[in-house]
Amino acid sequence: YYPTWKIPEDHPIVITGVKAYENLYHKRPLVDKWTFSTNGVTINGMYGIPTIGFGPGNEVLAHAPNEKVAISDLVTASAFYAAFALEFASDK
């Protein structure tokens, strides 16, 4: 089993994600946990590299046999990934 992990809401990487989301969508994101596993268990849980999760689609369908994602959700997530990278780079 991989170790569980949690990032405090006041961690710089979370703040960067929130700022990127707010700048892009003009509303505050839901900062919460996921009920399924991601590569974050290795990246953060084992190696201590701060990690946040953000992805397209409905969490209920994640990692399920019938997993599917709307193209509009892929576009929305891609826009956030770009905004996050720009925000992260500008904070340095």
- pLDDT per position as a tens digit, 2-49: 777 889 999 999 999 999 999 999 999 999 988 777 888 888 888 999
Give the DSSP per-residue string, 8-39. -TTSHHHHHHHHHHHHHHSSPPP----SS--T
Every domain of the chain and the residues it spans: 12-29+38-90
Domain boundaries 12-29+38-90, corresponding CATH code: 1.10.150.900
Looking at the predicted structure, is the pLDDT value of residue 92 above 70? no
Residue among 54, 55, 57 nearest 68 (CA): 57
